[in-house]
Amino acid sequence: MQLVDVRLGGPGARYALNAYGLTTAELVVRPAESPRGVVRLEHAQVGAFRDSPALWLGRSARGSVLVDGFTYGALNDTRSADARKRLHWFERVSNGYSPALYDQLAAAYQRAGQDEMAETVLIARQHRRYAAAGPAGRIWGALQRWTVGYGYRPWLAVCWLIGLWALGSVWFVGHEPVPVDADQNPVWNPWIFAADTLLPIVNLGQDGYWRLEGASQWIAGTLVAAGWILATTAAAGAARILKRV
């Protein structure tokens, strides 16, 4: 089915295109101008879907293109129309958060070999998901976004760990604490101490031997909390990725 350089809808028309439940090997919707009316693609099953900006950037926005249950195997212009541009198109017309919309788009990019764009879509999916949650959900979502990229960018957690470890080490280089038990004669190493404080569960032989006071106590507490937050968000992100494998 091909609709190229045509005018869809007209004055007073409710639907510019009604393709509800359509099943076809190919659907091409490239109108000459923005549709005048609602475009229904709900529950349509399409092998290859080819479109143009005119379909999405119409005079109206929310609800102008209905895509609930719309599935497609391949998408045109996966290179020229990047993920952020398509996300803008889809989010402009969608009524609220629709997980399937993001999943379909990400799958199309993956099938086209555009893994980076698929990742961008999946990150946007999680961002919209948590944005629609309550205050606690938004806070948890923000932590996952900036620390591990919702699990899709685990290297962010490594960057945070290295940065916090370096800052903590620099502080403790100039602020050596006193031993809890001088008879044990522990050897002070600020670099290992910062890592031991930051990394949860791991014991590097420095934690527990020193009496921290004042600002050092607060900094050590911050490192402990940051380490657990990073570990928790990384585990949550990894679990999400494993569910999709």
Q: How far apart are CA 135 and CA 126, in angstroms?
A: 15
Which range (114-128, 200-214, 229-243) has the least confidence?
A: 229-243
Instruction: Specify the pLDDT at position 35.
Output: 85
As beta bridge partners, residue 75 has 49
Sign of the CA dihedral with 224 first, then 225, 226, and 227 last: positive
- Residue with the bigger pLDDT between 176 and 57: it is 176
Give the mean pLDDT of the chain.
83
Distances 149 to 71, 170, 224, 225 between C-alpha atoms, Å: 27, 27, 21, 19
Mean pLDDT of the region 196-212:
83
Band of pLDDT at residue 170, cut at 50, 70 and 90 = very high
Work out the pLDDT band at 133, boundaries 50, 70, 90: confident
**pLDDT per residue as tens digits for the range 79-90:** 556 788 888 888
pLDDT digits (tens, 9 = 90+) for 140-164: 888 878 887 887 887 888 888 899 9
Percentage of residues in the chain having pLDDT higher than 70: 91
- In this predicted model, what pLDDT tens digit does every residue of 21-76 receive, in sequence order? 999 999 998 888 888 888 888 899 999 898 888 888 766 666 688 888 888 888 87
